[in-house]
Amino acid sequence: MVMEENNLNYEKAIEKLEEIVEKLEEGGLSLEKSLAKFEEGVKLVKYCSKELNKAEEKIEMVLKKGQGFGETVPFTESLEED
């Protein structure tokens, strides 16, 4: 069962994903239970992806505000290249 999103954070979601992967790798689950775990994992991956995208946007905003950039700085760009 997926944790409710309001009780979920990125770290908890990653921990839960690790547990799911371990259970699936161990085997021994029925097809139905394996599919349920897989579905839960996909939902957690989507949640983590969304959280990472939000963090990236915040970093870009901080860089833009903090260094007076006229345009946002891509997340992948190193600050040392300036």
**Alpha helix stretches (DSSP H) within the chain:** 10-26, 31-67
Range(s) of the domain holding residue 30: 5-81
The pTM assigned to this predicted structure is: 0.69
Q: Which CATH number characterizes residue 17's domain?
A: 1.10.287
The encoded tokens of residue 9 equal 């954070």
pLDDT digits (tens, 9 = 90+) for 25-54: 999 999 999 999 999 999 999 999 999 999
Please give, one letter per residue, the 3-state secondary structure of 49-60.
Answer: HHHHHHHHHHHH
pLDDT band, very low/low/confident/very high, at 81 (cuts 50, 70, 90): very low
Q: b/e string for 45-68 if b means 16 or more Cβ within 10 A?
A: eebbeebeeeeeeeebeebeeeee
Q: Number of folded domains in the chain?
A: 1
pLDDT digits (tens, 9 = 90+) for 47-65: 999 999 999 988 888 877 7
